[in-house]
Amino acid sequence: MSAKGYTTGGIMAPNIVLFLTDQLRRDALGCYGNEICQTPNLDQLAEEGVRFDQAYTTSPVCSPARASLMSGLYPHNHGVMLNTHIAPAWNRGLSTDVPTFSRLLKEAGYVLDYAGKWHVHQDIGPEEYGFDRHKMGRGGRGKIVPGTELTVEFPGSSFPVAGTGEMSPEEYKTWTVTDCGIEMLRERAGGDKPFFLRIDATAPHFANIVPEPYASMYDPKSIPPWPNFDESFEGKPAAHLRKHREWNLQDKDWAWWRQVVAKYYGDVSLIDTCVGRMLDAIRECGIEDNTIFLFSTDHGDATGSHKHFEKSGTMYDEVFRIPLLMKVPGGVSRNVSQFVRLMDLMPTFVEWGGGKLPDGLDARSLVPLVNGDDPGDWADSVYCESHGEVWGYSSQRMVRTEKWKYVYTPHDLDELYDLEADPAEMNNRIDDPMCADVLENMKGRLLGWNDATNDMFQWHWVRFNFPEPIAP
């Protein structure tokens, strides 16, 4: 049975379970090509379900990306353009006047539970957006085993970014949040209403203070450098080198970074274990035949790519291209090659649940793609934005096709990458006369997305520097 069949013929609408992570690189998963990091449960999910090969976040930082997931809008339309906890933030969070999938599902008859990280509003929680319950889960990362910490040093200060944790896996935050989710799942499984359950882990966001046996699961010496680790910053925006220097990474060679990546991989494998626990609970409750399960993340992470730490400030694929996996009961296993965005889950959830979608969404339901259809008007590019983590640092836009990526940075050098010849995004072709026609086309695409989403290019003297818009 396809997903769209659940709301017809008197069959109860499907339960929906979303397992979301924080700052997960797509290429850390085996099902996306990693040959070192062990993710057997996610690999099986990809094999049996739907794997999206071209999924992207709308923003490289948590609050804007998560607000887009809730609302189906780009950050410039929902208003959460920065992380809400870093002053001066643009605002305190997503307005309760903005329609969200959670409220729309509630109106359609769902009960909704939330376990774990929120980060959509500083003052109010998921209950104000339609969720019935929110549990944070106990535990954390805990103390570091002395002598295992990896630190970044600043003048007068330092902080750990990775190490071995003293606590057991069962005390670790990812595990305890999964415990909350499983508890909520079991309580809802026997009910007479469909439920939506969201589990939000804070991992593998740094610091990767990982418990054993996951902390020692990977030998750092077995981890080769990222294809784009040897970044020279030549021909790149000045902000890229500045970011490298502001994090004081000048003396961090691959011998240091591979130790960080080993702990990061340990965090990812622990997440995979918890995904397996959640899938087991669904089966044990006897609701597998009417429960849709999804896995994704809010955004990616540099983790040493381009000699960078964290995520904001660049628009590389390591940060914007994300994993997206799902399993729909009765569905066919397939890989989806079309461009999709994390925020497209908003109308997807509502359509699965039989709710009514509001007008004016930027997002588009993924149900046709999940069901194997190929809409002829699906966009052959994707549009993303960034406003930095701290207000005033940067504002960028990016349009990406299968072959090309163009990054518009009004205060710095633009970027153009041939992704077929240069998938690691090392050679900026923005000033290459051989790419003049490509650049013209990509700038037209960027302006087309701008107009389609009511974005920033409204003044005539800005538009004078662009070609005619190409609609997505």
At 434-458, the pLDDT tens digits run 999 999 999 999 999 999 999 988 8
- Position 5 in a domain: no
Residue 392 banded pLDDT, cuts 50, 70, 90: low
The reported pLDDT for the residue numbered 201 is 97
Find the mean pLDDT for residues 29-41: 98
Tell me which residue of 31, 50, 47 sits closest to 39, measured CA to CA. 31
Residue 204 has pLDDT above 90, yes or no: yes
Residue 9 banded pLDDT, cuts 50, 70, 90: very low
Residue 423 has pLDDT above 90, yes or no: yes
The reported pLDDT for the residue numbered 319 is 98
Residue 241 has pLDDT above 50, yes or no: yes
Q: Given the structure tokens 């997960």, which residue do they identify?
A: 24
Residue 7 has pLDDT above 70, yes or no: no
Mean residue pLDDT across the chain: 94
Residue 8 banded pLDDT, cuts 50, 70, 90: very low
Buried b (16+ CB within 10 A) or exposed e, 102-116: bbbbbebebbbbbbb
- Position 329 in a domain: yes
Find the mean pLDDT for residues 214-223: 98
The reported pLDDT for the residue numbered 354 is 97
d(CA 353, CA 6): 8
Residue 79 has pLDDT above 80, yes or no: yes
Residue 6 has pLDDT above 90, yes or no: no
Range of lowest pLDDT (2-16, 110-124, 267-281) = 2-16
Find the mean pLDDT for residues 363-367: 98
At 306-344, the pLDDT tens digits run 999 999 889 999 999 999 999 999 999 999 999 999 999
- Position 138 in a domain: yes
At 136-153, the pLDDT tens digits run 988 777 899 999 999 999
Find the mean pLDDT for residues 30-40: 98
Find the mean pLDDT for residues 374-382: 96
The reported pLDDT for the residue numbered 331 is 93
Range of lowest pLDDT (8-17, 227-236, 272-281, 379-388) = 8-17
Residue 255 has pLDDT above 80, yes or no: yes
For residue 18, give the CATH number of its domain: 3.40.720.10
The domain tally of the chain equals 1
- Position 409 in a domain: no
The reported pLDDT for the residue numbered 3 is 41
**Higher-pLDDT residue of 407, 395:** 407
Q: Which domain holds residue 142?
A: 12-377
Residue 256 has pLDDT above 50, yes or no: yes
The reported pLDDT for the residue numbered 87 is 73
End-to-end CA distance of the chain: 32
- Position 125 in a domain: yes
- Position 462 in a domain: no
- Position 446 in a domain: no
d(CA 380, CA 363): 15
| Global confidence as pTM | 0.96
- Position 359 in a domain: yes
Range of lowest pLDDT (152-161, 228-237, 413-422) = 152-161
At 140-199, the pLDDT tens digits run 778 999 999 999 999 989 989 999 999 999 999 999 999 999 999 999 998 999 999 999
The reported pLDDT for the residue numbered 182 is 98
The reported pLDDT for the residue numbered 216 is 98
Residue 99 banded pLDDT, cuts 50, 70, 90: very high
The reported pLDDT for the residue numbered 445 is 98
Of the chain, the percentage scoring pLDDT greater than 90 comes to 87
Residue 5 has pLDDT above 50, yes or no: no
